[in-house]
Amino acid sequence: MIVDGEHTFPGPRQTVWDLLQDPEVLAKAMPGARKLHLTGDGVYEGVIRIGVGPVTAAEWTLKVTLADRVPPASYVMHVEGKGALGFTRGQATVKLDEVEGGTKMSYRADLAVGGKVAGVGQRLLDQVARMVTRQGLDALNKELEARLAARVDAAP
């Protein structure tokens, strides 16, 4: 399953980069995230609870590894998730570019989904992937705006 797109954040590239490395922010941006901890250099582990269509929400263990990092421009994200209803694994390439008025993030993920959850069909999985991606980007936007507002308030 391919998930790709672009999103423009209303902030500087370094701030967006820092946001994308913060496990507390990432946990807020992942719908269904129960916890997410930094366990090593660029390695995050946690638990999410997610359901797809008629497949009841279940907990999944999640491991995310950020590799080939070129701060603040790009990285490759390796994802592994396992749960009673199946698995997902794959990788995503994330690129950040400075643009007028903010930072453009381009992303492309190639994910494999297996087990019972894969039985709901590719079309439904694609819809859920787009919805989860949109929710995550909206949550990241809110966090970025809150951080930028806090900087303005703290300025002398």
- 8 Å CB contact between 41 and 31: no
40 three-class SS? strand
The answer for residues whose C-beta is within 8 angstroms of residue 135's C-beta and 6 or more apart is 31
pLDDT-derived band at 151 (thresholds 50, 70, 90) equals: confident
Domain ranges, residue 46: 2-154
- pLDDT for position 28: 82
Please determine, for residue 82, whether its predicted confidence score (pLDDT) is greater than 70. yes
Please determine, for residue 117, whether its predicted confidence score (pLDDT) is greater than 90. no
Average of pLDDT values for 138-152? 88
The answer for residues whose C-beta is within 8 angstroms of residue 42's C-beta and 6 or more apart is 65, 66, 67, 69, 75
The Cα–Cα gap between 16 and 19 comes to 5
Average of pLDDT values for 90-117? 92
- pLDDT for position 27: 84
Average of pLDDT values for 84-113? 93
pLDDT-derived band at 143 (thresholds 50, 70, 90) equals: very high
State the total domains in the chain. 1
- pLDDT for position 53: 62
CATH number of the structural domain spanning residue 30: 3.30.530.20
